[in-house]
Amino acid sequence: MELAGFLLLVAGWAIVLASAVLLKTLPLETLFVLAGLATELVGLVLVIRTHLVVREARG
Amino acid sequence: MMAMNAMALCLLFSLLIPLAGAGLALINAGLGRSRSAAHAMLASLSVIAVAALVYFVCGFAWQGSLGLPAHTLTVAGKTWNWLAAEPFFLRGLALDGSPASLAVWLGMLSAGLAALIPLGSGADRWRLGASCASAALLAGFTYPLFAHWVWGGGWLAQLGANNGLGKGFLDAGGSGSIQAVGGLTALCIAWILGPRRGKYAPDGTPSAIPGHNAVLVLFGCLAALLGWLGLNCAGSILYYGAEPGRMVLVAVNTTLGASAAALASAAITRTRFGKPDASLCANGWVGGLAAGSAGCAFVVPAVAVLVGAVTGILVVLAVEWIELHLAVDDPGGAVAVHAVGGIWGVIAVGLFAGGSGQFVAQLAGLATLLGFVLPLTYGLNRALDHFSRQRVAAEGERRGMDLFELGAGAYPEFMTHTEDFTQR
């Protein structure tokens, strides 16, 4: 789960990077940057959740 | 080309920056336990030393400076600068007061400052050797890469020219490049080390472990203000070509941001707990400095006050939320102050210092912090932990880092409280 979270973080960044390099119009670029950030948010939640679960398991 | 008087002014301002390091070191030591105080101060000195040396060896080679050779990539007709192409050990670079030589000096200090931040979250349990090794990774890889993209003419700085996104990613004093990078590293360290013994009860309830010296913490805040004034002024001149007269605005904004943040923290802690909390007010003050750095040269004073006030509230709420809901034990509040404060500072520039294009550029910088810096930092520090455990042995935590790792305490004349040495 932790690895999936970090992969989502990197994937979100890749979306932002691709939008900066390939897109030309501001609305489209904004949309892709927001989509990248949303992906990162999901990844961050997953990473945080993983650490909570691990800590709970250790008691 | 920078004028001679601007370069001299930049050098003078940069001489104040070590005071920011001194301030952070005092804050980290004061917010930790008395039995780890000498360790905290020695760790601060050590990570600054390691960061300076590693930055000299390879950090500047990755970071570079505007106008120096860099690796570029041409995609869809646009040239993107992604990594500096400087030789290791500063070979061939004349340290003669040129903008590139000032970038070396400022980068060295900034790397040291960023490396100090994780000491706050790793207090009372992070081995000295491990903190030095982690500082080497930060100063050698994470910080220079991100700093190149922002300050070395890299792809984030180019978003303005290449994509018409405002002026590209703006970060005059390092809310993103120094504070958020350091704050996210602090989060990774707190995750890897785990909480201090006795911090959380078996049912997950956190217990309060107050800092041992509020005077150190609050004096550290005053020293930090001086250092931040230097950092913000020097960064504005060197990276954004701000004219010397604009330094008055930078100084006023820096002071107002910290002041508004500290007062907002005092107000919110007084409202919630009945009395203002000294350590949270200190966290608010430094959070205000961290958040205000990015926009110090680009916003009017009223905006600096607004950004500072929001930071003061955010930091107090974040400290509590991180401890209660994320179960992250962060004795120095480094994650809330530097990561949350720094990220808010980056966003605030987009909200108040430009149009929608500028906002998107700032969001791209934020996405890079979360999607590149955080995974890279976590991966590097996790690998380090795999080869050499970063957390001190249980005995070290019980006896205190001073006695266990240094052989002598910071306060040898203090009476020892028995309960401090009782296993919780």
pLDDT tens readout for residues B294-345: 999 999 999 999 999 999 999 999 999 999 999 999 999 999 999 999 999 9
Contact between B326 and A51 using a beta-carbon 8 Å cutoff:
yes
How many residues would you count in chain A? 59
Count of domains in chain A?
1
Encoded tokens for B116: 């100090």
The confidence band for B4, taking pLDDT boundaries of 50, 70 and 90, is confident
pLDDT digits (tens, 9 = 90+) for B185-210: 999 999 999 999 989 988 888 998 99
Domain boundaries, position A15: 2-58
Whether residue B285 has pLDDT greater than 60? yes
Q: Taking a C-beta distance cutoff of 8 angstroms, is the pair B338, B186 a contact?
A: yes
For testing the chain A interface, which of B159, B370, B372 should be mutated: the one with the most A CBs within 10 Å?
B370
Angle between helices B278-292 and B341-352 (to 10 degrees): 40
Q: What is the CATH number of the domain that holds B218?
A: 1.10.3430.10
| Phi-psi sector, B264: left (phi>0), alpha (psi -120 to 50), beta | alpha
Nearest residue to B105 (alpha-carbon basis) of B55, B152, B70: B55
Q: Give the CA angle between residues B250, B279, B294 to the nearest 5°.
A: 25
Which of A6, A37, A48 lies closest to B378 in CB terms? A6
Judging contacts by C-beta atoms under 8 Å, the chain A residues touching residue B368 are: 13, 16
How many residues would you count in chain B? 424
pLDDT digits (tens, 9 = 90+) for B121-155: 999 999 999 999 999 999 999 999 999 999 999 99
Q: Looking up tokens 């590209």, which residue turns up?
A: B168
Contact between B360 and A30 using a beta-carbon 8 Å cutoff:
yes
In chain B, the N- to C-terminal Cα span, in Å, equals 61
Judging contacts by C-beta atoms under 8 Å, the chain B residues touching residue A20 are: 155, 159, 162-163, 364
Whether residue B424 has pLDDT greater than 50? no
- Report the predicted TM-score, pTM, of the whole model to 2 decimal places: 0.96
- Chain A's closest residue to B373, CA to CA, is A10
What does each C-alpha distance from B331 to A55, B32, B58, B169 come to in angstroms?
18, 6, 32, 32
Phi/psi for B81 (5° steps) reads -95, 115
Ranges B15-24, B40-49, B391-400: which has the least confidence: B391-400
Whether residue B418 has pLDDT greater than 60? no
Dmax (CA) for chain B in angstroms is 70
Contact between A12 and B164 using a beta-carbon 8 Å cutoff:
no
Q: What pLDDT, on a 0 to 100 scale, did the predictor assign at position B417?
A: 55
CA distance B14 to B279: 28
Whether residue B422 has pLDDT greater than 90? no
Q: Looking up tokens 């605030």, which residue turns up?
A: B348
**Is residue B417 one of the residues assigned to a domain?**
no
Count of domains in chain B?
1
Q: CB contact, 8 Å: A35 with chain B?
A: no
Phi/psi for B83 (5° steps) reads -160, 140
CA distance B323 to B330: 7
**Is residue B268 one of the residues assigned to a domain?**
yes
- Chain B's closest residue to A57, CA to CA, is B202
CA distance A21 to chain B (A): 7
**Is residue B297 one of the residues assigned to a domain?**
yes
Q: CB contact, 8 Å: A49 with chain B?
A: no
Judging contacts by C-beta atoms under 8 Å, the chain B residues touching residue A51 are: 191, 326-328
DSSP SS3 for B148: helix
Domain boundaries, position B25: 4-408
Whether residue B3 has pLDDT greater than 50? yes
* Buried/exposed B48-83: b ≥16 CB within 10 Å, e otherwise: bebbbebbbebbbbbbbbbebebebeeeeebebbeb
Q: Taking a C-beta distance cutoff of 8 angstroms, is the pair B113, B380 a contact?
A: no
**Is residue B327 one of the residues assigned to a domain?**
yes
> Rounded mean pLDDT of B254-280?
97
The winner for highest mean pLDDT among A7-11, B160-164, B194-198 is: A7-11
CA distance B381 to B416: 35
DSSP SS3 for B330: coil
Q: CB neighbours of B202 closer than 8 A, spacing ≥ 6?
A: A59
Residue B138 per-residue DSSP state: I
Whether residue B165 has pLDDT greater than 90? yes
